[in-house]
Copies of this chain bind each other. A is one copy, B any other.
Amino acid sequence: MHRSHTCGELSINDLGKEVILSGWVQKSRDLGGMTFVDMRDRYGITQLTFDSEDNASLRAQARELGREFVIKVTGKVIERSSKNLKIPTGEIEIKVGSLEILNSAKLPPFMIEDETDGGDDLRMKYRYLDLRRNPVRNNLVLRHKMAQEIRKYLDGLDFIEVETPVLIKSTPEGARDFVVPSRMNAGEFYALPQSPQTFKQLLMVSGFDRYFQIVKCFRDEDLRADRQPEFTQIDCEMAFIEQEDILNVFEGLIRQLFKNVKGVDLAEVPRMDYADAMRLYGSDKPDTRFEMKFVELNDIVKGLGFPVFDNAELVVGINAKGAAEYTRKQLDELTDYIKRPQIGATGLIYMRHNADGTLKSSVDKFYNEAELQKWSAAFSTAPGDLVLVLAGTTEKVRKQLNELRLEMGTRLGLRDKNTFAPLWVLDFPLLEWDEEKGRYHAMHHPFTSPKPEDIALLDTKPGEVRANAYDMVINGTEIGGGSIRIHDRALQALMFKHLGFSDVEAQNQFGFLMDAFEYGAPPHGGIAFGFDRLVSIFAGLDSIRDVIAFPKNNSGRDVMIDSPSVIDQKQLDELKIKTVN
């Protein structure tokens, strides 16, 4: 037997017990004739004592233990003289009677501590050591708890977990697929799913009524910090429902998760139209932890001789409350920030509402005190506030001001990681213009249903057609999205036509789905949450990488196992493929 107890469970109630413990040497220290060893396992830390007076050779053995050695001890639970009340086992220690080294350990390449000295590359190469660190393991324990809680909630509502296939068919629409050459069908390929979209819709056609799955999905895209080639979705679909049903069920899921996993009682999730989100926040995923809503100024600033405003399609600003004291230097920093190529603004106009009540702007030449009073009224400024204004074409300036708003939110400490502001964004456009390809593409995906009242616009003003599509946003991050689906063959065919598919292409790629719609498809819709991202928000992390046990780097490499790698010629031959340079 390797242990009678874990390193996290013995307390003052166990005094006198003879126990067996196993774990890792966290650290050890000598004090006079004694050696103290902190032994660690997943469950906690227990202090071991070795006393020369009791057993000199055993104590000598203990002095030889290195960090991260794996040991097993038997001993007696005794009361500590100097207690550590911060940990559950801090009132006791084990007076060790025998010690066995189960495995030795080389010195780890970085410290196995909450605050490590290991850089990202080293941590990834030795991920199995990085995972020993409490903060990393805690993220994965959190992930585990969330997964169980999600299933419990959905199972309780009669959702059925169904596994959909991983080896599916490549479809050029959307992001790039990973493909898998088929040996048994030479020259042909499977694709890995970007989502189980069509399968979950088929399950609705099958009458499964309520489906879910926590499932790996794959996208062969160039990677950013919060993107991984394989990622996990909470994938859900319901039949005989309307949008309102889905919003209710999944708002319930999120609230139950916050309640049961984090102990946070969320209020009802507010809802906002896409159009309002763009107008008030310049983003379809506004961070609503703080106000600082956009105020449009066209009506009050135009025609007074300031060409930047006069020539702009939109003049729009925010009130950074309490930032009137910003120095010239700080304002220059902000200007530099928004002029970076990623944001691309040309300049920043500001107005201070000084503590003494006076208004002072960077465009005093064009706007006198009376005009600035109009600004002040529009932004409801108070003494101490700083108004920041941008001008340009509507789409661009909104994006720029969104970035500035988020930056100001951060600078003013309004984006606390322990505050959670979820939001439903509704009524997304159905189509989005693709400059590059010179055609519309589906904003969500080609299976999204247009709003019935907007279908007439498909031929005349396709860009104005709204979809029965919705996103859930938390703290400025999109954590999930979905839609009511098309369940009618003719409408689905019409959508494919608008997306530039020929009839033959549509039939080749999605014929099975359109065929299925002819055999009695019920109204249905669903949603998918990005599980990695949801966990990272619960964990208060910016990147999804530390909520994934074995992530890949930005080149799609797993540096620990050194993958991808070249494969044997024999494998290529069997698959009837070859690599080209």
On A, residues with C-beta under 8 Å from B are: 1-3, 6, 22-24, 40-43, 68-70, 102-106, 108, 126-129, 131-132, 137, 140-141, 143-144, 147-148, 151, 155, 160-170, 172, 176-192, 198-199, 202-203, 205-209, 216, 218, 220, 222, 229-230, 232, 240-242, 487-488, 512, 516-523, 548-550, 552, 555-558, 560-568, 571, 574-581
A240 touches B22 (CB 8 A): yes
A190 touches B563 (CB 8 A): yes
A-B pairs with beta carbons under 8 Å apart, 27 shown: A1-B242, A2-B241, A24-B520, A41-B209, A42-B209, A105-B519, A128-B205, A128-B516, A144-B162, A148-B155, A148-B161, A162-B549, A163-B216, A163-B549, A166-B216, A167-B178, A167-B556, A168-B558, A168-B563, A176-B571, A177-B571, A179-B181, A187-B581, A189-B566, A189-B567, A190-B564, A576-B581
Cα–Cα, bound, A189→B562 (Å): 11
- Contact A521 B131, CB 8 Å, known A207-B42, A579-B186: no
Chain multiplicity (copies): 2
B520 touches A104 (CB 8 A): yes
Cα–Cα, bound, A523→B576 (Å): 43
A144 touches B161 (CB 8 A): yes
- Contact A106 B519, CB 8 Å, known A42-B208, A162-B140: yes
Cα–Cα, bound, A552→B190 (Å): 12
Shortest C-beta distance, A205 to chain B (Å), equals 5
- Contact A131 B230, CB 8 Å, known A2-B523, A187-B566, A556-B184: no
Q: Which of B22, B105, B170, B565 contacts A565 (CB 8 A)?
A: B170
A180 touches B180 (CB 8 A): yes
A167 touches B552 (CB 8 A): yes
Cα–Cα, bound, A241→B556 (Å): 35
A575 touches B179 (CB 8 A): yes
A165 touches B230 (CB 8 A): yes
Shortest C-beta distance, A30 to chain B (Å), equals 21
B147 touches A556 (CB 8 A): no
A179 touches B519 (CB 8 A): no
Cα–Cα, bound, A127→B164 (Å): 13
Cα–Cα, bound, A185→B558 (Å): 12
The dominant DSSP class at the A interface is loop
Cα–Cα, bound, A547→B189 (Å): 25
Cα–Cα, bound, A170→B567 (Å): 7
Q: Which of B178, B561, B566, B576 contacts A180 (CB 8 A)?
A: B178
Name which residue of chain B comes closest to A208, CB basis: B42
Q: Which of B141, B567, B577 contacts A580 (CB 8 A)?
A: B577
A522 touches B22 (CB 8 A): yes
A222 touches B184 (CB 8 A): yes
| Residue numbers in B under 8 Å from A69 (CB-CB) | 520
Shortest C-beta distance, A73 to chain B (Å), equals 12
| Residue numbers in B under 8 Å from A190 (CB-CB) | 178, 563-564
B185 touches A555 (CB 8 A): yes
Cα–Cα, bound, A487→B70 (Å): 11
4 smallest beta-carbon distances between A and B, as pairs: A105-B520, A131-B206, A169-B563, A188-B564
Cα–Cα, bound, A55→B198 (Å): 40
